[in-house]
Amino acid sequence: MSRAAASPAAGPMAWLAAWSPRAWLAARRARAEAVGTLPVRDRFEAAPAGRLHGFDHALALGVAALVLLGMVMVYSASVALPDSPKFARYEPTHFLVRHVLAIGLGLFAALLVTRVPVAFWEKHAGLLYVLALVGLVLVLLPFVGKVVNNSRRWIPLGVMNFQPSEFAKLAVALYAASYMVRKMEARENFVRAVWPMALAVLFTGLLLLRQPDMGAFLVLGTIAMGVLFLGGVNARGFFLVSAMALIAVGSILAFDDLRRERILAYLDPWDPGHAQGKAYQLTHSLIAFGRGGLFGQGLGSSVEKLHYLPEAHTDFMLAVIGEELGFVGVAAVIVGFFWVVRRIVAVGRQAIALDRVFAGLMVQGIAVWFGAQGFVNMGVNLGVLPTKGLTLPLMSYGGSAILMNLIAVALVLRVDMENRVLMRGGRS
């Protein structure tokens, strides 16, 4: 059935089938066979999805270990929250159940994503970016977005509160990779290669700052700049964009009293005027690490999570890990993240070596996302960086965050599957 013939009047199922990834790939392959050509990089599309049976087991195991540890620590960090009047109507397992539900939805979505060829995502990267912008606009509407802690970042969807900024991070990784593929011949020209992408990121950032969510803006900008750099953008243009980004952040701090106060509190958190104010979370995070010592107080034995350390199950989960599992536990988490990001980078490099530029840049954009956000979260918990509202990828409580993290990992595994088929000569 052709797409032209499949109209909604022919029946919704027929119309959806004609526009599915499988139908699109079949039509593409039919056109290629009609002219007697089938690109080498697309040979895997001729094989049934079930035959793409190889994938990076080390990466999958590393991700599974972080997710499982995160699930345990979410329960440990949130089990005492119902003792507070704010959460009095919740059961002790409330956050654990919601987190497990989000992981289940994420795994289901990840299985679906591994069935879709990367070529489909390349074709629709622009559409996904537009959808991300629509979500960032919708969340700002008073009758759509939900306000939590003076920030309008969530859209209630019943089973979970969806955060469009999490989807925007993945969409930017895809769109930046697609953009660089299209601009590859002009990557030495700043105006043609860098400026349009910089404007797109700036527009997205303005929407994020309206929520406000500066942390997501910084991560999103880092993803875009990382993909441009890895895509071979002229070094002078890259450093010019970096300087512009620093000027923009400096301007925000200069005119935003709240964020400027956070910077000052971070520089001297133990000052009496800061310890009970903007540096309250940081000081209690440092106390948690200090109590943990080498081996920790034991699982479930944290004192700081007993209403002293706010957001212990989200932004400051690493502090709870430090208090309960000690230096050994924190080191294990850091090594785990290093391992996962390293494996993701390796998959991206392999894809580029196979002349699959979009796939490689997309995967490396995901690596930049996980690496940058993980680094910022750990730095904030340890007092190395100013306090920002960023979760620990794959571990912290947050439905939309864990959902998009697992989808991103599934994209990486799909790229790895296709790499392995091509390295076997394209045979199924």
Q: What's the Cα-to-Cα distance from 190 to each of 129, 193, 228, rounded to whole Å?
A: 22, 5, 11
Residues of the chain with pLDDT under 70: 1-53, 186, 188, 190, 237, 252-260, 264, 274, 426-428
Give the DSSP letter of residue 289: H
Give the DSSP letter of residue 162: E
The answer to whether the beta carbons of residues 136 and 208 sit under 8 Å apart is yes
Largest Cα separation within the chain, whole Å, is 76
> pLDDT digit string (tens) for 175-233?
999 998 888 776 767 677 777 888 888 888 889 888 888 888 889 989 988 898 888 77
Reduce the secondary structure of 91-136 to three states and give it as a string.
Answer: CCCHHHHHHHHHHHHHHHHHHHHCCCCHHHHHHCHHHHHHHHHHHH
| Size of the chain in residues | 428
Q: Structure pTM?
A: 0.83
H or E stretch including 155?
Answer: strand 151-156
Ramachandran region of residue 39, left (φ > 0), alpha (ψ -120 to 50) or beta? beta
Buried b / exposed e along 297-308 (16+ C-beta atoms within 10 A)? beeeebebbeee
Structure tokens at 184: 């590859």
Describe the crossing of helices 57-78 and 399-423 by its angle, rounded to 10 degrees: 170
What pLDDT score does 30 carry? 58
What pLDDT score does 282 carry? 87
What pLDDT score does 36 carry? 43
What pLDDT score does 252 carry? 67
Ramachandran region of residue 2, left (φ > 0), alpha (ψ -120 to 50) or beta? beta
Distance between CA 184 and CA 180 in Å, rounded?
6
Distance between CA 57 and CA 105 in Å, rounded?
21
Structure tokens at 246: 């620093």
Give the list of residues 6+ apart from residue 404 with CB closer than 8 angstroms, or none. 166, 167, 169, 170
Describe the crossing of helices 317-353 and 399-423 by its angle, rounded to 10 degrees: 30
Q: Which of 224, 101, 94, 84 is nearest to 159 (CA)?
A: 101
Structure tokens at 294: 């080498």
What pLDDT score does 205 carry? 86
